[in-house]
Structure 1
Amino acid sequence: MKAAVWRSLARWLLVSLLAAAGLSHLTWGRRGYRIVVPDWATRLTGLDKDAVVVASGVVELMLAGAVATMPRQRSVGWVVGAFFVAVLPGNVHQWRTGRSAPMLRTDRARFIRLLLQPVLVVWAVWSTGDGSRRAG
């Protein structure tokens, strides 16, 4: 299979992941995600835990839409990657406190989630590129 086909497939999988995560933050997983929002996030944003969960779900849906409608836009990939970096401290907090969330009910699952975070960043940037190398 050509690299462009793999990149396109990876991009649509990313769209699906972001959309599913966004929908879960707004619906069936909303209550469970509130449990793992760190107190410092509410102080930093001025939002309550539910609003943080809802906001992250809305952002995930917007990012899914951006990736779907602006294929081969490296800047979109960098924004998605930055989002994955931005939520990393919350994921670390969840792992350290042992709090369960939907699909993350064990320390092992929470730790694997942390290890996958850099993969998500690379995936976002790679899948939204056009495959060409540009000089800085």
Structure 2
Amino acid sequence: MATSPRSPLALAGLLAAAGVTHFVAPKPYDATIPSFLPGSPRTWTYVSGAVELALAAGVALPRTRRAAAHATAAFFVGVLPANVQMAVDWRHRPTALKAAAFGRLPLQIPLVLWARGVARGQARQG
């Protein structure tokens, strides 16, 4: 997947915005934390938000972009269980909410491909 020169910054912006929302409005994220994870859901919400902010910084900087983009792809795969948990938990909610929850699942594929494309683009440049 070819990326434009602005693609890394767009990915960094998406990660930063998502990371900030984990701290500004953590309650919806808490509800997506799978119950099999140890500890408090809020802790996982804050940790994942901090990881997204760190990944955003890494992707934004050319020097760390390739490694951070690979880590971002892995992160997007890693949060899939939370998205599955959300879809399962929201299956009886109103149609719009249910559609949003189930719509997140296939969205992980283009996100992973985007991050991998950013990493490959940096490898060609660097």
- For normalisation by structure 2, the TM-score amounts to 0.84
Within 1, Cα distance between the matches of 2:54 and 2:68? 11
**DSSP 3-state at the match of 1:78:** helix
Per-residue CA deviation, residues 12-56 of structure 1 (Å, 9 max, x unaligned), is: 1101100000000011x2122112212112x2xxx3111000000
Q: Counterpart in 1 of 2:22? A: 25
Alignment RMSD (CA, Å): 1.9
- Tell me the CA shift for residue 71 of structure 1: 5.7
8 Å contact kept, 2:76–2:111: yes
Please list the CA deviations of residues 101-122 of structure 1 after superposition, one character each: whole Å capped at 9, or x if unmatched: xxxx611111111111011001
8 Å CA contact 2:55–2:69 kept in 1: the answer is no
Where does residue 102 of structure 1 map in the other structure?
A: none
Structure 2 counterpart of 1:12, which letter? L
2:110 maps to 119
Matched, 1:8 2:13: no
Aligned to 2:79: 87
Cα distance in 2, alignment partners of residues 52 and 106 from structure 1: 23
Amino acid at match of 2:59: V
Query: How many residue pairs are counted as aligned between the two chains?
Result: 118
Q: Are residues 1:128 and 2:125 paired? A: no
Asked if the contact 1:7/1:126 (under 8 Å) is kept, the reply is no
Structure 1 residues not aligned, in runs of 5+: 100-104
CA distance in 2, matches of 1:76, 1:31: 27
Structure 2 stretches lacking a partner, 5+ long: none
Aligned identity (percent) is 35
CA distance in 1, matches of 2:31, 2:67: 32
TM-score, normalisation: structure 1: 0.78
